[in-house]
Amino acid sequence: MERLNWGLIGGGEGSQIGPAHRLGARIDGLFELAAGALDANPDAGRAYARTLGIAAARAYGDWREMLEGERNRPDRIDLVTVATPNHTHFEITRAFLAEGINVLCEKPMTMTVAEGEEIVRTAEGSGAICAVNYGYSGYSLVRHMRAMVARGDLGKIRLVMAEFAHGHHADAADADNPRVRWRYDPAQAGVSAVMADCGIHALHMASFVIGQSPEKLSADFASLVGDRVLEDDAMVNLRMSGGTTCRLWTSAVALGHQHGLRVQVFGEKGGLSWAQEQPNQLLWTPLGGRTEIIERGGPNLSPQADAASRVTVGHAEGMPLAFANLYTDLATAIAARRAGQAAPESWCPMAEDGLRSVAAVHAAAESARADGAWVDARPPMYR
Ligand code: NAI
């Protein structure tokens, strides 16, 4: 495949997620980091872009300058990743999509459901691809879980349990940490903190693995540290589109939990369990049988798992390689469009997935405000 030009917005020096994008996008040699507006501070962004090898003319001070600069270039960026704080995603993503530039947007895709619907419509209107970085869905064994569920190994899926509970915002002194502050500030984070930040991943993973979307839910939010207004812990019960019950716990105060993302699927013929901190092993327990460890890269895996696996069995693969699988999906889709061919089936999360999960976060906040009342979790455009 021809190497594509890639742009990055946000992900500046010291950011949490920038390095994983830079590794993931470039590991297969499919993308070259050609342009960037990397930091809220224009000078810092330009300077850091230069250290990453971006040409001075394409080391931009902000995303508007970048859009202006890239718009008419013959070698303009083929894909831009939006890795800025949540409240900026909508404006940036919409502007690049409207220009026909493909976008990989960080989660949550937007702050409101109406904005999410607008992104879906903008992408449809411009023909540009809009993907959302639910990067954990790129893990080989997560794709294998989805394949096992889809081919009926578990039979009817009764229950999916998803949790993303970490302990890294358990200290009230974090109120002064700029990387933590925006996550709990309603002006910057919107209606939800940990549910929008982490619970949304757990929710997407549950949806992705069983191939169902949230229909209705009941939520309990708690703010447990200092004088935080937004929740730092949430428990949500959901009913999914295929009738499966989903239970979700997300937290930022679970001291001792490091990353804390785990998904368990229970069907009538067996159960699966996978955790992000041991991503190369998947536990499979058939009804009446022993628990078996399925190793990434091992024999008899699904084609989707094999395609998402790079190093031989026994060598650890981790999160940047999961992100890389989304980038590979996107490079394949972009190349197919260029060749005028239909894009191959892809499991890369798209704007529709971004919208459905944002709608569920808003529904959870609404339910929590109403003492756990059951509410519709679907975005209006999909009701
Ligand atoms: P962070 O606070 O560590 O870094 C944000 C970066 O964006 C900084 O370099 C900052 O200077 C830059 N920035 C802020 N406003 C900007 C603007 N207007 N233009 C250009 N750059 C700007 O935040 P973090 O944790 O890296 O999160 C960024 C996004 O990634 C958030 O939406 C977050 O939810 C998401 N995220 C996704 C993860 C995943 O697994 N998919 C994991 C962690 C974060």
Q: Whose CA is nearest to atom 11 of ligand 1?
A: 39
The per-residue pLDDT for 47 is: 98
Q: What 8-state DSSP symbol labels residue 351?
A: H
Answer yes or no: are the C-beta atoms of 52 and 72 closer than 8 Å: no
The per-residue pLDDT for 38 is: 98
Largest CA distance in the chain: 64
Question: Best mutation site among 9, 84, 104 for ligand 1, i.e. most ligand atoms within 8 A of its Cβ?
Answer: 84
267-261-215-142 Cα dihedral, nearest 10 degrees = -50
Cα–Cα distance for residue pair 331/228, rounded to 1 Å: 41
What SS3 class is residue 259? coil
ipTM for the complex shown: 0.99
The per-residue pLDDT for 63 is: 98
Ligand 1 centroid to 303 CA: how many Å?
33
> Among 342, 327, 322, which residue's Cα sits nearest to residue 144?
322
- Closest ligand 1 atom number to CA of residue 9: 20
Global pTM reads: 0.97
83 lines ligand 1 (CB under 6 A): yes
Show pLDDT as tens, one digit a residue, over the chain (383 residues): 789 999 999 999 999 999 999 999 999 999 999 999 999 999 999 999 999 999 999 999 999 999 999 999 999 999 999 999 999 999 999 999 999 999 999 999 999 999 999 999 999 999 999 999 999 999 999 999 999 999 999 999 999 999 999 999 999 887 778 778 888 988 888 999 999 999 999 999 999 999 999 999 999 999 999 889 999 999 999 999 999 999 999 999 999 999 999 999 999 999 999 999 999 999 999 999 999 999 999 999 999 999 999 999 999 999 999 999 999 999 999 999 999 999 889 999 999 999 999 999 999 999 999 999 999 999 999 99
Cα–Cα distance for residue pair 315/161, rounded to 1 Å: 28
- Closest ligand 1 atom number to CA of residue 197: 34
Question: Exposed/middle/buried for 151, CB within 10 Å: 0-12, 13-18, 19+?
Answer: exposed
84 lines ligand 1 (CB under 6 A): yes
Ligand 1 centroid to 147 CA: how many Å?
31
Ligand 1 centroid to 21 CA: how many Å?
11
The per-residue pLDDT for 182 is: 82
Identify the residue whose tokens are 């693969």: 317
Domains, the chain, with CATH or none: 4-136+326-349 (3.40.50.720), 139-311+356-376 (3.30.360.10)
DSSP string, 266-335: EESSEEEEEETTSTTEEEEEETTS--EEEETT-TT--HHHHHT--S-TTS---HHHHHHHHHHHHHHHHH
Question: Best mutation site among 8, 9, 13, 16 for ligand 1, i.e. most ligand atoms within 8 A of its Cβ?
Answer: 16
Cα–Cα distance for residue pair 11/265, rounded to 1 Å: 33
Q: Indicate if the alpha-carbon torsion angle 99, 182, 319, 225 is positive or negative.
A: negative
